[in-house]
Amino acid sequence: MGRLEGKIAVITGAGSGIGQGAARAFVGEGAIVGLLDRNADAVAATARELGERAFPLATDVGDEASVAAAFAEVRRRHGRLDVLYTCAAVQLIGEDAPVHELDVDVWDRTHRVNLRGVYLCNKHGVRLMMESGDGGSIINTGSPTGLTMSGAGWHAYSSSKAGVMGLTRVMAADYAKHKIRVNGIVPGTIETTLTKPLVDDPETLAGLTALHPIGRIGTPADMAGIAVFLAADESAFATGAHFFVDGGISVR
């Protein structure tokens, strides 16, 4: 029997990278997974790959009506939600900058997805979890950039991730009484669409690799195990915590 058998999950950003890797792992462990992403083609293709345990939710996380409709669809299909894993984000590499040079439009576009989007998905996800009375597990995605010097130069992205980590902790305090656990995952540099502009440049890749004491950057598959653990009942005593799966970048 899979570790997530019988659980209904929603993963945001499931059309690519870490979210897509988690969707594969969740379905492999027996969960039914709503694949939420603004990229409708990507979630349709991922749903086809994963079969009857996955269904697409083409959604813009920054738009409340769109998010509300996605969770209404989960309620219509399954009547409940056990796990929410928020991975949708943008990093505007080449546009993000230190605040004295940072365009307000870059700040707004980043925070609209990365912080407002996480808030909206948590808002509608937690409501659905509370309806069942059975509790649930929410997993938000932070970043070492929200905590360490690895965010230097990217003030919009890093501050959005620090905001997500703060929201995760305060939500853990308030929703424990509803049996809803709220934890964060902090990935190191992972090779995905988000980091492609960095990883494709050999010099930047060498610099990033050197930042990770473990001697390499990661893959979406490296991030799947911690997400399954936090989604599963085996992590029942964990809430309000951040789990670093970052090749050691945060110990620097």
Report the SS3 class of residue 73: helix
Minimum gap (Å) between residue 6 Cβ and ligand NAD: 26
Query: Is residue 247 a contact point for ligand NAD (CB under 6 A)?
Result: no
Asked whether 145 and 151 are in contact (CB, 8 A), the reply is: yes
Minimum gap (Å) between residue 9 Cβ and ligand NAD: 16
User: What is the DSSP code (8-state) at residue 14?
Assistant: T
Which one, 19 or 136, has the nearer CB to ligand NAD?
19
Q: How many residues bind ligand NAD (CB under 6 A)?
A: 29
Q: Quick count: other Cβ atoms within 10 Å of Cβ 240?
A: 16
Which one, 65 or 236, has the nearer CB to ligand NAD?
65
Asked whether 22 and 230 are in contact (CB, 8 A), the reply is: no
Which one, 160 or 239, has the nearer CB to ligand NAD?
160
> What DSSP element (H or E) covers 192?
none
Minimum gap (Å) between residue 128 Cβ and ligand NAD: 18
Query: Is residue 113 a contact point for ligand NAD (CB under 6 A)?
Result: yes
Which 3-32 residues touch ligand NAD, going by CB under 6 A?
A: 13, 15-19
Among 34, 56, 117, 136, binds ligand NAD (CB under 6 A): 117
Q: Which residue has the tokens 């690895």?
A: 150
Burial 31-54 (b: 16+ CB within 10 A, else e): bbbbbbbbbeebbbebbeebeebb
Among 46, 122, 141, 158, binds ligand NAD (CB under 6 A): 141
Asked whether 56 and 43 are in contact (CB, 8 A), the reply is: yes
Asked whether 238 and 230 are in contact (CB, 8 A), the reply is: yes
Minimum gap (Å) between residue 192 Cβ and ligand NAD: 3
| Euclidean distance between CA atoms 184 and 69, whole angstroms | 25
User: What is the DSSP code (8-state) at residue 116?
Assistant: I
Binding segment (CB under 6 A) for ligand NAD, from list 1-9, 97-105, 168-176, 185-193: 185-193
85, 119, 157, 175: the active-site residue:
157
Q: Catalytic site residue 157?
A: yes
Minimum gap (Å) between residue 197 Cβ and ligand NAD: 11
**How many residues can be counted in the chain?**
252
Q: Quick count: other Cβ atoms within 10 Å of Cβ 120?
A: 25
Binding segment (CB under 6 A) for ligand NAD, from list 2-10, 84-92, 171-179, 233-241: 84-92
Minimum gap (Å) between residue 50 Cβ and ligand NAD: 15
| Euclidean distance between CA atoms 45 and 41, whole angstroms | 6
Binding segment (CB under 6 A) for ligand NAD, from list 3-11, 125-133, 171-179, 192-200: 192-200
CA distances to 80, 107, 153, 158, 206 from 150, rounded to whole Å, are 38, 18, 9, 9, 14
Binding site for ligand NAD (CB under 6 A): 13, 15-19, 37-39, 42, 59-62, 87-90, 113, 117, 141, 143, 187, 189-190, 192-195
Active-site positions?
A: 157
